[in-house]
Amino acid sequence: MTNKETVYVVSDSVGETAELMVKAVASQFFGQEVEIKHFSYVEDKQDITNVITMSKYSLSIIAYTIVVPELKHYLDQKADEEGVIAVDLMHPLMNAFTQKFNMEPNSQPGQMRKLDENYFKRVEAIEFAVKYDDGQEVRGLKQADIVLVGISRTSKTPLSMYLANKTFKVANVPLIPEIQPPKELFSIPRKKCVGLIISPEKLYEIRTERLKSLGLTSSANYASLDRILEELTCAENIMKKIGCPIIDVSNKAIEETADQILAIFNKRESFA
């Protein structure tokens, strides 16, 4: 018999919802996460009997998201017979939906993971962001919904991925004093381009820490204030030439910057 606190996550789908809820609750009780054991895609009563047997002889409970009525009732019945705690994470809310909205659930597993149009758009956008990250294949600039430009360590890549998860096709281009920006950058509509800048002090701090993590000294040109000022000046001149809006990312989380970018684009669309 184990003394490890365990939760058996049982689902007729993947079980992601149950796992997230278990982790949220466990964080209120344990210094570290409780051990979670998965029983996904439960299809018959034997699967349920097996997990109840294991739970009975261990320090554990069952948390489940089963929407098929027959399997749910069987789990409740067997758990009660064997003295096992089994918590239904979905039906209390489903019952509230039924009562308030006068609707019945379709009781089909895996509805959240059905492949819909939005899913494919998101996958396409993520693949686009990876392909056209850091100035790769400049032909992607014309196909992009949003083009981000900025010097190194201004969060271009994480921003691209964050926006891609919202189905926007994003390309980003690094601005380096010694390298001429691609001519395509000046031929795309300026309304879809956004410049990213950062304070010299913040960038110095970020780059110094980056060098330390690589085992290099902070005396490298990459982290020198003179070099940083040169890069920022060059970048701002290019952004002014493009005529794009400029966002200072110095003290912003990725989500904040992304929201600001989307606000700019939504405002433009409303006046288009």
Q: Is 191 annotated as a binding residue?
A: no
- Total residue length of the chain: 272
The amino acid that residue 10 corresponds to is V
Find out whether 142 and 112 touch, Cβ atoms under 8 Å: no
The amino acid that residue 27 corresponds to is S
Q: Is 49 annotated as a binding residue?
A: no
Q: Which of 87, 105, 110, 115 is nearest to 12 (CA)?
A: 110
Q: Is 157 annotated as a binding residue?
A: yes
Q: Is 156 annotated as a binding residue?
A: yes
Q: Is 195 annotated as a binding residue?
A: no
Find out whether 75 and 46 touch, Cβ atoms under 8 Å: no
Q: Is 27 annotated as a binding residue?
A: no
Q: Is 250 annotated as a binding residue?
A: no
First to last CA, the chain: 68
d(CA 26, CA 72): 23
Q: Is 199 annotated as a binding residue?
A: no
- Binding residues for ADP are 150-157
- Binding residues are 150-157
